[in-house]
Chains A and B, each alone.
Chain A
């Protein structure tokens, strides 16, 4: 029934996420209004989430809380082999188990990794479904496999994909002449940095419920992309997109692992069709570890030349990255863009292995690339005895592609440096790395951040006014935990002179006006300007109505405190509610997030400053304080923005110090598919975190001047921690997670020198 090629988005990180985040090819001449910045009353201040009550009382319906009459439980049988031919599947015993309603083989010839789907069942409850899985008889013919990057690159290694080699070049980009640049340098240095595989592990595992109503399919999904899931389902089931509705109510986060159609969603739809009953599939924590994505590794070798005054003359990068059966991440984007360097050469290769495929993971490529690049810059600065912050300021740019491209629409990185350095007390750092005494050493480090985050032109939102004075804001976006519901309410309320709680927010349904995926820092800068546009149209309409009533011109009317007021005579006013009665029927105003003018680069910027303490006896790193300064343009809600930064920093601390997917290279078995052996930071590991938002106007980017904030706080933190450790102990830990064994080993090597 389903076309297997379309079963799930292969989740190429750069297609689904980065390209969207970059907004390339979508720019038009349809420039936003560049009039003076409007005065805001609610935007840019603290607003409590409008759905807080539902969350803290446990009433917010997450996927697993949705109960439908007659609903069956679906489960997937997964390959125990890292690479095997599927010779035969016998479903008969499973089918005859009482309580089993459907069993299907998933029509694959090969399993390419442990956890690859093979068959599925639907049964009356979870236990019966699990029993049925054990009764499915699969004959596998094990094939040679490879799970380690090093072995996969060897001559004659088992092929992971039939149609492509294990190693593929994914980027080769040059600027100037690196060899000439190295000759011009006073110091040339070469260093290699390595990052481990992380697993997204959202609190709520993946899950979908599928229900057919005649020829229409309704799917409840824990997803960051309702429109993508709808289109993918329609394609794979061969039905018109208009007959599929995807609903996302509350979800327990995604971090990139829930950006596209998942195989289990298609399976739920097939099982529901076959049984005529709704089917729910939720993945276990182990399935979440194995088969719904991870952040690719990186093995980055930098060579750089610098003059004694800090001028960068040449930089080169060779990177090997693996995302299992999927492509790895390009990690060179920050290197290609943020610093002035006339001579540059980047070569990146992906290496395939028989492991679960990668998916976009909060700031794909930038997280790994920033750890390498920013660590390397500190080592270069040390070689010439320069303050690392000064080295970055020396090579500051106002145009993209290392000052060779177009101007940034706005860039507040210099302000981030200034405010961040002041707040952490940058002067306190060791002038020479490792200069302190004793076994407890303190150090300071910093790192810059660049990401896209302009949002997607063409995003739509409606404002609906009712004659009783109530207001809906409707948009087919999804709130994945960033506070999108509240942001929409804040923008509409501010524009209409109401309070956020007065607005009814309708989102998370693919039948609503189109909005992009929630990922890549593009939700707020896509949705908020569309809501603003619709709200301004509604406000204009109401002003005209009020002008007639108050016998003044529409331009003299302002919306404030739930009233429409004559600016010249505040006594002359009419309440919002009373005026709305004259609408007589519900009235809808369509808003759109317009295009951006060509000739600019649209980016977010930030800088993290970190203080750490390192125990040289045990190798333990303790992060004491993080100052996270960000230029994300106009902040919509400072309350949720602070949480966003705190969360990004915390995840960064967690991956810098603890997180790594561990695989037995001989058997291909994932040895830590749970939250006990895969260590995640808890309350005992968290530093003091101080978010700072720099005030930067961006008249080009959209009508609110707002930029995204999802990825930025996640990007520079590991590099800043690495640099602070370097400052504390005088030796650079070039591999994440920076576990005590690596610290001790590095210290020992330093002593040996």
Chain B
């Protein structure tokens, strides 16, 4: 079931995601090597491999264009939080295990803690701050309030972004498909709520789907 969803590229489970990116541990092992080497190459068994040290990227975040110079180890999460001061996206595990940092990248939910800012060049990014239009909340945000779909609230932005990504992209490709419980569970299976409020989150996704004409 998980694979079927993934082929469409619409929903990732936590483990699928890790497989795809090779896990946080490998990334962590490579980064210090690049840092230690001030020059633009690193020494390997097969000789020197050139690396670029900094790069200018252009990101469109919540409709606004930002051009900035990023370092190779900077993740999209760090750029959003530390450079653009968009702190609604949370750093929870910082290694692709919990979905707390989920943002939409060209409408696809991604874990921003594993996504290097380099790769986001030219992409369109939506964060939790970009959902509401002034005081008007996105239907998913409203549904999360109405169903009490969080407790401490730390994971809520990630869950909301996963839900928005799922409902909006599914809406485009399969507008006639009705959501069942398995769909809902799959939509949010890449996110962890440590307070354990999943039963309320299911209700939130279902209610938002209804408002968005998805059931």
Contact = CB atoms under 8 A, between A and B. Distances in A.
Interface of A: 48-49, 52-53, 55-62, 64-65, 67, 127, 201-205, 250-253, 255, 284-285, 480-483, 639-640, 642-644, 646-651, 654, 674-676, 680-684, 686, 688-689
Given A253-B194, A683-B198, A53 B145 contact: yes
Interface in B135-173: 137, 141-142, 144-146, 148, 150-157, 160
A61 B154 CA distance: 10
B68 interface: no
23 contacts: A48-B148, A55-B145, A57-B132, A62-B87, A64-B91, A203-B155, A204-B152, A205-B92, A250-B152, A252-B154, A253-B151, A481-B150, A481-B151, A481-B152, A482-B151, A643-B197, A646-B200, A648-B196, A674-B93, A674-B97, A675-B97, A681-B196, A684-B13
Interface string B54-91: 00000000000000000000000000000001111111
Given A675-B192, A684-B185, A650 B87 contact: no
A684 B189 CA distance: 7
Contact of A64 (B87, B97, B127, B152): B87
Which of B23, B97, B153, B186 has most chain A Cβ within 10 Å? Answer: B153
Given A674-B93, A682-B189, A684-B189, A62 B154 contact: yes
Nearest to B160: A56
B199 A689 contact: yes
Contacts of B95: 285, 674, 676
B206 interface: no
Contacts of B132: 57
B14 interface: yes
B212 interface: no
Nearest to A689: B199
Nearest to A647: B196
B203 to A, nearest CB: 10
B115 to A, nearest CB: 18
Contacts of B127: 58
Given A201-B194, A646-B199, A251 B152 contact: yes
Contacts of B151: 253, 481-483, 643-644, 647
A512 B151 CA distance: 24
Nearest to B128: A58
A499 B156 CA distance: 26
Contacts of B90: 62, 64, 203-204, 252
Nearest to B86: A58
A382 B193 CA distance: 38
A253 B154 CA distance: 8
B199 A650 contact: yes
B211 to A, nearest CB: 14
A334 B92 CA distance: 36
Contact of B152 (A65, A203, A650, A681): A203
A250 B157 CA distance: 14
Given A285-B94, A683-B188, A683-B201, A56 B195 contact: no
A686 B198 contact: yes
Contacts of A57: 88, 128-129, 131-132, 137, 141
Contacts of B89: 58
Given A58-B128, A62-B154, A642 B194 contact: no
Contacts of A680: 192, 194
B92 A650 contact: no
Contact of A650 (B88, B150, B197): B197
A127 B35 CA distance: 10
A598 to B, nearest CB: 36
A53 B137 contact: yes
B194 A56 contact: no
A468 to B, nearest CB: 23
Contacts, number: 173
B95 to A, nearest CB: 6
B98 interface: yes
Contacts of B109: none
A48 B145 contact: yes
Nearest to A681: B196
B145 A52 contact: yes
A202 B98 CA distance: 12
A647 B197 contact: yes
B18 A676 contact: yes
Contacts of B191: 682-683
B195 A639 contact: no
Given A651-B196, A686-B198, 5 more contacts: A62-B154, A643-B151, A682-B191, A684-B13, A686-B199
Nearest to A687: B199
Given A56-B145, A127-B35, A251-B152, A203 B14 contact: no
Contacts of B155: 203, 252
A647 B90 CA distance: 21
A100 to B, nearest CB: 16
Given A647-B197, A674-B95, A683-B189, A55 B129 contact: no
Given A65-B87, A204-B152, A682 B192 contact: yes
A482 B95 CA distance: 28
Contacts of A48: 145-146, 148
Contact of B198 (A59, A250, A640, A650): A650
Nearest to B158: A203
Contacts of A642: 148, 200
A353 B53 CA distance: 46
A203 B92 contact: yes
Nearest to A480: B152
A203 B154 contact: yes
Interface in B104-131: 127-129, 131
A58 B87 contact: yes
A711 B86 CA distance: 35
A271 B130 CA distance: 37
A64 to B, nearest CB: 7
B194 A203 contact: yes
Nearest to A202: B194
Nearest to A125: B82
B191 to A, nearest CB: 8
A693 to B, nearest CB: 15
Nearest to A649: B196
A681 B197 CA distance: 11
Which of B86, B189, B195 has most chain A Cβ within 10 Å? Answer: B195
Contacts of A684: 13, 185-186, 189
Given A643-B148, A646-B197, A204 B154 contact: yes
B13 to A, nearest CB: 8
A689 to B, nearest CB: 5
A122 B8 CA distance: 46
A65 B128 CA distance: 14
A676 B22 CA distance: 13
Contacts of A127: 35
Contact of B195 (A52, A58, A203): A203
B94 A284 contact: yes
Which of B18, B94, B156 has most chain A Cβ within 10 Å? Answer: B156
Report, nearest first, the 8 A-B pairs whose CB atoms are least far apart: A58-B88, A650-B196, A252-B154, A481-B152, A52-B145, A58-B128, A55-B153, A675-B97
A221 to B, nearest CB: 15
Given A203-B100, A683-B189, A684-B185, A252 B197 contact: no
Contact of B137 (A56, A61, A649): A56
A369 B192 CA distance: 28
Contacts of A681: 196, 198
A52 B35 CA distance: 42
A97 B93 CA distance: 28
Given A253-B195, A650-B199, A56 B144 contact: yes
B156 A56 contact: yes
Contacts of B152: 202-204, 250-253, 480-481
Given A55-B153, A58-B157, A202-B194, A640 B148 contact: yes
Nearest to A61: B87
B24 to A, nearest CB: 8
Nearest to B188: A683
